[in-house]
Structure 1
Amino acid sequence: MRLSALYRYPLKSARAQALQSSPLDLLGLSGDRRWMLVERDNGRFLTQRAYPQMSQLSAACANDGGLVLDAPGRASLQVPVPEGDSNLRGVLIWRDTLRVPDAGDEAAQWLSEFIGKDVRLVHVPEQRTRFLPNGYGLNSDRVAFADGFPLLLIGQASLDDLVQRVGRPLEMLRFRPNLVVEGASAFAEDGWKRIRIGEMEFRVLKPCERCILTTIDPQTGERSADREPLATLKTYRQKEGDVLFGQNLVADGSGVLEVGMAVAVLE
């Protein structure tokens, strides 16, 4: 087995960045989901579930830790990391409420014009990150703006199995993984508890529950009229009302991951 792809999402629910290598820290891949869009008035987070146009929004990590925004028909904008705690904004992501730095008016205006709604851009420094969902992981585990866990792994064979059932090609990026593994059987990852990639070890904590976002074409932002692949997943990957595809992980320690690294199941 080997690591066949690495993806990060600097801005939650915006386009993916494909990587050949990446440092890995307490919060997952370096720079992954450290930024988020929220409604200006109430701080509630935005995703493609309600705003599929976010699939056309590119956000790249700058060398200084800032963000470079691009979107069709718009000039790119470079956003620096907010300094200090002078401009904190209360935000809500699922059940978590936290106060994080606001990235300023210029970024808010640029993004509001693109989204068509008054939004603010926020950033999460490491000292303001969240605990994992109750009952999972250790007290030392943290997550930035990902839904619940720092890393998502999917086996390539699992997607291949789904494609065969749906009867048409499907992009892996519909499922927004960080790590893709080749060489295992379909859904082998469901049985893993601990794995090693290169020299790094990971705990496999929980299957990933899938939603309507999987029906959005990551290239066009269009939602499939037949609700695929979610409709097919429901026929054979539903458990207690949840549709499961992929596994949530946390890393033990820090290091660097590279595409091509060997993957071993430890438990």
Structure 2
Amino acid sequence: MVVEPGGRYVTQRQQARMALVSAEPLPGGGIRLSAADHEPLTVAVPEPGDAAAVSTVWLHKEAVEVVSAGAAADEWFSGFLGSPVRLVHLDDPARRRPLTPDFARGGETVSLADEFPLLLTTTASLDALNSLIAQGDHPDEGPLPMNRFRPNVVIEGTAPWAEDDWLRIRIGEVVFRVAKPCARCVITTTDQETAERGKEPLRTLARHRRAGDQLLFGQNLVPEFPELPELPSAVGLLGEGRGAGTLRLGDRVEILE
């Protein structure tokens, strides 16, 4: 996660240019950072055990203890964004944050994601949204690509908005609880190729997908795992002792509830 010198988290909300950064995961850990007109940088996973490197940062209103990803990463991001920032890493599963209490069940945690471990969208709902955008005040901004919504999981073959009624689903070998609809922010108006901002999809979501003060697109997922013995191999998406699972491109999706 990128943070300001004082520890406050930084996203595309504050820095639209972050859309232009690609972070490619590497086999065995670490990431490769790249951006146009900027030399790529490989960032290794920080070495464990350096207590002096632990610092407190702020994600929304929550304090999280993290470690530095290194001076080279700080310099790379600061140079690209044009302001001083740091790159930090959550090195210890025990430091993961509890999920939002209103939507959490016992023991569920999340690392440095905005609110939930995973975000699901469907191609049918995006097609429906793009049809509405074409009929709205800013038709020239559509159709929007799926990357505006930055999902982890994209499902094909459903009816538009069918995901609104799902409570539990199975994807391949993993069962997920559908925790809540995802409330969308200004990042969705940011072109992920140019970092330029427009009006859509928020204008159209405000007309057609409003719930109170929230504009909704996609569903937040929490993986469900049985309790497993406290073994290193059991450290997965939910933290120590909560298991692991693999999603594969083309996995079948089953609606359980």
TM-score strictly above 0.5: yes
Larger CA Rg, structure 1 vs 2? 2
- Is 1:240 the counterpart of 2:212 in the alignment? yes
**Cα pair 1:44 1:91 within 8 Å, conserved:** yes
Aligned twin of 2:254: 264
Cα distance per residue 1:203-245 (max 9 Å; x no partner) = 0011100011110011111111xx1111011001001111011
Aligned twin of 1:213: 187
Aligned partner of residue 247 in structure 2, secondary structure: strand
After TM superposition, the structure 1 = structure 2 runs for residues 15-164 of structure 1, keeping only pairs within 5 Å, are 36-40=1-5, 42-84=6-48, 85-125=51-91, 126-164=93-131
Where structure 1 has 5 or more consecutive residues not aligned to the other structure, the ranges are 1-35
Distance in 2 between residues matched to 1:86 and 1:79, nearest whole Å: 19
Structure 1 runs of 4+ with >6 Å offset: none
Distance in 1 between residues matched to 2:120 and 2:143, nearest whole Å: 20
Q: CA deviation at 1:133?
A: 0.7
Aligned partner of residue 203 in structure 2, secondary structure: helix
Identity of aligned residues (%): 45
Q: CA deviation at 1:158?
A: 0.6
Aligned twin of 1:174: 148
- The letter of the residue matching 2:58 is L
If asked which structure has higher relative contact order (CA below 8 Å, sep 6+), I would say: 1
Aligned partner of residue 257 in structure 1, secondary structure: coil
Aligned twin of 2:159: 185
Cα distance per residue 1:96-142 (max 9 Å; x no partner) = 10110011211111110111111010001222211101122222211
Bigger strand fraction? 1
Would you say how many aligned residue pairs link Structure 1 and Structure 2? Answer: 229
Aligned partner of residue 147 in structure 1, secondary structure: coil
- Is 1:249 the counterpart of 2:221 in the alignment? yes
Cα distance per residue 1:48-92 (max 9 Å; x no partner) = 111110011111112231121111112111111112233012100
**Cα pair 1:131 1:139 within 8 Å, conserved:** no
Aligned partner of residue 151 in structure 2, secondary structure: coil
Aligned partner of residue 29 in structure 2, secondary structure: coil
| TM-score of the aligned structures, taking structure 2 as reference length | 0.86
| TM-score of the aligned structures, taking structure 1 as reference length | 0.83
